[in-house]
Structures are given as structure tokens and as C-alpha cells.
Amino acid sequence: MPLNRKEMARTISSALIFLLLPLLLQFYSGKSELQFNYYAQSCPRAEEIIKEQVVRLYSKHGNTAVSWVRNLFHDCMVKSCDASLLLETVNGIESEKASPRSFGMRNFKYVNTIKAAVESECPMTVSCADIVALSARDGVVMLGGPRFEMKTGRRDSTESYGAAVEDSIPNHNDSISLVLSRFQSIGVDVEGTVALLGSHSVGRVHCVNLVHRIYPTVDPTIDPDYAEYLKRRCPTPDPDPQAVLYSRNDRETPMILDNNYYKNLLGHKGLLMVDQQLTSDPLTSPYVEKMAADNGYFHDQFSRAVVLLSENNPLTGDQGEIRKDCRFVNSN
């Protein structure tokens, strides 16, 4: 039976309310979604400026590119991709940078360099959280990794979560099952986790974090020749944390993000305990073999996983703030 005019109007109204309800709820909560080219109107050159700075800093300090990738991991694993990592210790609230999990992190001062360049063109517009994310994306390219797009629109946290770092960021000695569960809790699957650990293809590991694998006895899962190399790099079982004592993650291509990491694992040359466990766990070992055989596949999965990581629970809309100085919350 055909609807009369009143019933039709009621039906249309109900349908509109149903369609608009998610938008109304989003507006009410002050939360919006990340989007591509978020700064297209407010700061058209934002992404270009960040890329220019990443390239310039890399030409002077090659290790900055590694730092940008690690920053993203440490920031996004703790509650949200919100630049809480960058906050200094203030009024007794300990910085996330002070956590033992942050041992060896550096180049934070150059985040301020990037922020200053953006601020000079678009004051109080581009968040530190987006600078962390975009510098990591551009840093990956500097390291010979894949190019990929990334959404923006993150806002900055107004508090530090130093107390949550230990429970959020896996330790290099943790079991692979714990590592997988930590990543799964933020939406990164097993395949993506194996790919993200491929970031260990670049940079270095301080002897403090690896001597337990060669002293007092050598871990039987380590290739004997490789163990001798590690002993030359780390000649004492009790290294000074302040000393520059380290081993490269990958001796062949130490500053290129490639699948040599997985080839090394299959050759029993994993540097950290968590690395070598990837080859023995039935959930992860098939992906190790696949990535070792195909660098393109590794790059595809790595870029996918970095994007997933970068979109973990961001502050958006009117949540948080846009910090003027990435090291401190804005003064009211």
C-alpha cells in the first residue's frame, strides 16, 4: 500500500537522522577523523617543509632518519600518536624519554628544528604529533625504504605518560608472544609486526642490550662466527651505558631499510633476543622466510604496518592542543 505524504516525510526524516547521527556524535565528542592533506588550506606547504627539513638533516646527520622511525614507534605505542614522547619532565611528571625503554634514543633537538621551520610559515597550526608521523614517513625514504601516503590531523597531548611506557613498549628480551599481543592491542597484525621489526635492519644496538646473549656463555641460537664478531664489539659483559659501545643491526647494509634483516635471522645472526625468536615461532617464521625472499613484499608490509601504527588512537578535532614548542604544553 503506498505511503501517504505524512508517512513518507516521517520515513525520510528517520533516514536522515540515521545517516547524520554518526556525524552529530562526532561533532558532539569533539573528535574527527584523520585525513589526507589535512593542512591543504591552513598550511599548504606543511608536508613539503617537513620533508625539506628531514632531507637537510639527513645530509648532515644520517642517523636522524633512524631516530624519526623510532620516535613514531615509541610515541604511538604509548596510548596514542600524540607527541607525548617529546614532553620534558616538568613539575615531577617524568618524561617518557626518561624511561629505560627509551635508552639510546637521540636527536630530539632536531624535532625542534623541524617544528621551528613549520612555525615560521604557519604558527600554531601543525601539530608535533603530525611532525613525528611525517618525519618518520620521510625518514623511511631516506633509508631506502618505500614511499607511502599518510593521513594527518593529529593533535598534541597535554600530558606525559611516563608511567605507562614499561607496560606499552615491548622490551628486547620479551617473548615474541608478548610482543605480538602488544602490537595486536593497537591493531597491528602478525604480518605487520614482523614487518615493523624489520626496522632493526637499520641503526645500531648498544652492548648493554645484547651482552646477555654472549656472556657468560654464547646463546646457542647465534652463529659462532657472528658471536665472535659481537664479542669484539662488546668485549666486556658489563659495558658502560654511557660509552659508545654498540653493534650494527646489519653489517652489510647498516643504513638501508631492506630485507637483509630477515636473511640475517635465517643465518642465525639476529642481534636481539626478540629478533631471533621470529624464526622459531610458528606464527612469525613463515613471514620471515617470505620477507627474506622478497624485498618488495617486505616494503609493502612495512609501509602498511607503519600507517596502522601511525593511526593508533590519535587525538583529533578539539582534543588536546597544537603545541608551540614540542617539549612543553602550552601555557594558558
Greatest CA separation for the chain: 88
| pLDDT for 272 | 92
Residue 200 assigned to a binding site: yes
Q: Is 268 among the catalytic positions? A: no
Q: Among 2-11, 12-21, 101-110, which stretch is predicted with the lowest mean pLDDT?
A: 12-21
pLDDT band of residue 147 (cuts 50, 70, 90) is: very high
50-61 pLDDT, tens digit per residue, is 999 999 999 999
Q: What is the pTM of this model?
A: 0.89
Q: What burial class does residue 127 get, using C-beta atoms within 10 Å of its C-beta: 0-12 exposed, 13-18 middle, 19+ buried?
A: buried
- CA dihedral over 308, 310, 313, 314, signed as positive or negative: negative
Q: For residues 16 and 23, what is the distance between their CA atoms, to the nearest angstrom? A: 11
Q: One of 74, 172, 206, 299 is an active-site residue; which one?
A: 74
Q: Give yes or no for residue 18 having a pLDDT over 70.
A: no
82-122 pLDDT, tens digit per residue, is 999 999 999 888 999 999 989 889 999 999 999 999 999 99
Helix (H, G, I), strand (E, B) or coil at 240: coil
Q: Give yes or no for residue 141 having a pLDDT over 90.
A: yes
177-226 pLDDT, tens digit per residue, is 999 999 999 999 999 999 999 999 998 999 999 999 999 999 999 999 99
Residue 84 assigned to a binding site: yes
Q: For residues 56 and 181, what is the distance between their CA atoms, to the nearest angstrom? A: 37
Residue 250 assigned to a binding site: yes
| pLDDT for 242 | 87
Residue 219 assigned to a binding site: no
| pLDDT for 91 | 87
Residue 170 assigned to a binding site: yes
